[in-house]
Structure 1
């Protein structure tokens, strides 16, 4: 609970999801200031008087979170799961409590990962592009577009081994769906640990044995470029990679090289090092890559009606709980 019973709540990015109707218990009162979008240049001015901040992905640096810039700020409610855009050390130093919406987007993210797998294994985009170029008519068959990295027909779910790197709520949901489809599932231990722990296998074994790898882990200094040249060199030629976690966990240059040289059979990416992403910011999105078995989506794995409902319920719960001195889903 803050030092005051009257709060100034500032919401910086309501274009992602509308702010719910906020009702605080007596004796708390508040003013709510909402911004559809906030340019980085205007962050400091907009949060200068805030005691409570509602944010999503806008970067909040140590300087932005300093006492000089936002002297009254006491609580940040993140309308998202990831908090990697916030300097959590700066928040901890000042005693600013940060809560997120952990678990809000589990189902759509898991379903997005599975749909990406099917799109890659069946090479749906390449097949569509081949037909659009009149290839079926001219060649009589486009089966060659569907063959995998070993020049064989696609394998089916019962022959897949899915490796999951990051076994939080989303990873567990992906595993449940994969097992229901008949896949064998391997859960990776942390990269530095090569021993089996609680049924998990070493990161290196997951890289070598999986026919599809799904990344569902947070971005941190330890996970940056977790998948790069060394990992792609060890993956199977008919293996697929799906990243629905955060940009930077996969080395984009190394991934493009692996796809171009057919070290792996395909990849689907929902997140990028620099977002919004386009041909000028990511080598993966350049026009010359249209012949690759690659699916790109604009950070939409989380996007679902149920996610909006969950976000709104959790944001309201976060703020009320913090006011009452019993914060929930605390990150720091």
Structure 2
């Protein structure tokens, strides 16, 4: 059997895709609009997607589709139930970002706690040249050493951040699920985590249970000197509430690599220029050269496993 493989978002991965060993026809598009998904996948048995949505309506319109190869770990853009009902295999990539995302998260923590961008901006504005002293310290600096790093999401990424935080001398705690009665061994009650965190780092998937997980009440429960780092999904945080909390000094700072809609064509509350001690990076925590190549290789390995009748990394 010759598989028709269509890659809809080639330029979303900055690495070379190899080609499957299985007989195939390969078609790729640099990018695709959502309204082009069905048209471009009409004859595909295998679809490679990254962030485009494959909902129930798209799946129903693609009777030849047999496999979805997700070029990412997160799969909230794929209707897994609709795929299961049709017998469509869905495979994702795993473990490729266990170094790059934790390193990015730690970089954001350091930048926030040490007020990196505030001092860089001051120097560029000539403040140091005008200073009466050899230095100035208008922006309070906090060490990571001795601080409490609270992690929401205990997968490979959360554990990777924990290892780096511990190497810096941080006290690491993991949050139990919000709203549960019991607390598992090795975890701390969600409300207590918010109260104790000097740095709150998010590494949970976006699900109905985690959408808006960090909102106004959660931010108000945190220390005023605490900072929030989000390298998970934008929807995990109530973005207007976070913008308001930063402006009001409810917490000391925040950094996010993700937004609720990407790219933010219609703007976003966190892109306003007047929000203090906020860092926004364009969803690049995952994108070291090494990690992207590992991801691309794993996508092809998933397709070969499917073609051999032994699908791996299955979500459906």
Length-normalised TM-score, structure 1: 0.91
State how far apart, in whole Å, the 1-side matches of 2:137 and 2:18 are: 55
The residue number in structure 1 matching 2:271 is 285
Give the C-alpha shift of residue 16 in structure 1.
2.0
Residues 140-160 of structure 1 show CA distances to partners (whole Å, capped at 9, x for unaligned) of 46745321xxxxxx3322221
Shift of 1:195: 3.0
Offset at residue 137 of structure 1 (A): 3.4
Secondary structure in structure 1 of the residue aligned to 2:5: strand
Aligned CA-pair RMSD: 1.5
Give the equivalent residue in structure 2 for 1:70.
Answer: 62
Flag structure 2 segments of 5+ consecutive residues without an equivalent.
Answer: none
The answer on whether the counterparts of 1:9 and 1:51 sit within 8 Å (CA) in structure 2 is yes
CA deviations 1:104-163 (Å, max 9, x no partner) are 11211000000000000010111111222222334546745321xxxxxx3322221000
SS of corresponding position for 1:59: coil
1:34 pairs, out of 18, 23, 28, with: 28
User: 2:120 is paired with a residue of what secondary structure?
Assistant: helix
From 262, 286, 298, the equivalent of 2:249 is 262
Runs of 4+ in 1 over 3 A off after TM superposition: 137-145
**Deviations for 1:202-234, whole angstroms, at most 9, x for unmatched residues?**
111111101000001110111011000110110
Structure-to-structure mapping, 1:79-90, within 5 angstroms? 79-90=71-82
Q: Which moved more, 1:136-145 or 1:199-208?
A: 136-145
Q: Which of 307, 316, 323 is the aligned partner of 2:300?
A: 316
- The answer to whether the 8 A contact 2:114-2:143 is kept is no
Gaps of 5+ in 1: 148-153
Secondary structure of the residue aligned to 2:63 is coil
Distance 2:182 2:16 in 1: 45
1:105 paired with 2:97, answer: yes
1:13 and 2:9 are equivalent in the alignment: yes
User: How far, CA to CA, are the matches of 2:236 and 2:6 in structure 1?
Assistant: 31
* Match status 1:24 vs 2:21: yes
Q: Given the alignment of the two structures, is residue 51 of structure 1 paired with residue 45 of structure 2, yes or no?
A: yes
Are the aligned partners of 1:51 and 1:74 in contact in 2 as well (CA < 8 Å)? yes
Residue of structure 2 equivalent to 1:208: 195
Deviation for aligned residue 1:194: 4.5
Give distance in 2, aligned partners of 1:57 and 1:124.
Answer: 32
Aligned length: 314
